[in-house]
Amino acid sequence: MAVVMNNETVHAFADDTEVTEGRILLADGAVIGAESEPRGISGLVRDGSGTARDVRVQVVGRDLTAECDGPCAREPGRLCRHAVALALHAVARCLPWHAGPADGTRRVPGEVLDALTTLEKAAVLDRLLAARPELRTDADELAARLLAPRTRAGLAALRDRTAAEAEQALRALDIDHLSTGHRPGFGYTDVYEAAHRLIEPVIEQYETDVRRRLELGMTDAAEAVGLGVLDGLDACEGDYGGDEVLCYAGEDLAETYGHTIRELMRTAGRAVD
């Protein structure tokens, strides 16, 4: 049975204190904006200091869940006073709790999620875990599997993928960005130093990734990434046209630009050749 949205339902998902304070906020006109969204209501609710809090109340199965950016000390699965005020406001104004698409069309489940950008999906995950903290353990396990493949095939794929990405990033460096000549306050910069300045940031992002995985205890995955970077550098060695930044990168790229990664892995007890 679906949740029937009325005052009693709101009260059932909040402690008495939160209900009382939420009613006071509502009576004081603290709800300054509310609108329907899929499965719930979102809006702004002012707290006692006058600060507007971003609040969402959603129907999840037979439960109500809430998100609030205020400093609310509430038990998991319970509504804070701001959420109570917003929900009661929506009930009083008969706002729909299951808003459909604006154009009235029916969407396939998951269609909107699939259309999100990487950053938008990250925001969805943050909000989902805030509303459903019991899912954090499962999400953390999935994250660990993503960062640290558990099979040899998975680690090999991570190494190959990293090598291809690193090689592509290095070959894509724009030679027009080589900044050479005299720079006030810095002296003269030759073309080889300029190339080094373009290549270093590419490698540094992989060094950061290796450090991250090592700090999480994912030594095998860190090694796979490190080896992948060295493979990518080797793949660029001496195989490029005269219009690439790599023409001015010098010889033995893996030795020149892979030193930090080798040192990180050596410190972790893994000697990387």
Q: What are the tens digits of pLDDT across the range 218-246?
A: 999 999 999 999 999 988 887 656 667 77
CA-wise closest residue to 55 among 46, 71, 44, 63: 44
Q: Do 159 and 244 sit in the same domain of this protein?
A: yes
177-186, 192-201, 249-258, 259-268, range with the lowest pLDDT: 177-186
Whether residue 180 sits in one domain with residue 83: no
User: Could you tell me how many residues make up the chain?
Assistant: 273
**Is the confidence at residue 253, as pLDDT, over 70?**
yes
User: In which band, very low, low, confident or very high, does the pLDDT at 137 lie, cut at 50, 70 and 90?
Assistant: very high
- Structural domain total, the chain: 2
- The Cα 246–Cα 173 span in angstroms is 8
Which position has the higher pLDDT, 139 or 64? Answer: 139
**pLDDT at residue number 264:** 93
Alpha helices for 98-190 (secondary structure H): 111-115, 118-131, 136-147, 152-171
Q: Report whether 240 contacts 268 (CB < 8 A).
A: no
How many Å apart are CA 149 and CA 135, to the nearest integer? Answer: 21
Helix axes 152-171, 191-215, angle to 10 degrees: 160
Q: Distances from the Cα of 3 to the Cαs of 18, 39, 63, 64, 221, in angstroms?
A: 20, 11, 7, 8, 45
Percent pLDDT > 70 in the chain is: 85
Q: Is residue 67 part of a domain?
A: yes
In a domain, 122, yes or no: no
pLDDT, mean over the chain? 83
Strand partners, 31: 45
Q: Is residue 260 pLDDT above 90, yes or no?
A: yes
Q: Which long-range contacts (CB under 8 A, 24 or more apart) does 101-104 make?
A: none
Q: How would you classify the pairing of strands 63-68 and 181-183?
A: unpaired
What value does the mean pLDDT take over residues 209-220?
94
Q: Does any domain span residue 36?
A: yes
Pick from 100, 127, 158: which residue ends a domain?
A: 100
Residue 49 covered by a domain: yes
Residue with more model confidence, 179 or 18: 18
pTM beyond 0.85, yes or no? no
> Final residue of a domain: which of 100, 115, 130?
100
Number of H helices and E strands in the chain, helices first, is 11, 6
Can you give the residue range of the structural domain that contains 42?
7-100
Domain shared by 91 and 27, yes or no: yes
Residue 35 lies in a domain: yes
Most confidently modeled of 30-34, 77-81, 118-122, 220-224?
A: 220-224
If asked whether residues 91 and 168 sit together in one domain, one would say no
CA atoms within 13 A on the CB side of 64: 28
pLDDT in tens, 18-54: 999 889 899 888 898 888 887 788 889 988 777 888 8
Domain boundary among 100, 134, 162: 100
Tell me, yes or no, whether 96 and 155 share the same domain: no
Residue 107 is predicted with a pLDDT of 53
CA 198 from chain centre, in angstroms, equals 26
Q: Rounded to whole angstroms, how far apart are CA atoms 195 and 178?
A: 6
Look up tokens 């290095």; give the residue.
170
Structure-token match 């030193």, residue found: 259
Give me 125's structure tokens: 């995950």
272: in domain: no
As a whole number, mean pLDDT of residues 245-272 equals 86
What is the rounded average pLDDT of the residues 139-149? 92
Residue 101 binned pLDDT confidence (cut-offs 50, 70, 90): very low
pLDDT the model gives residue 102: 46
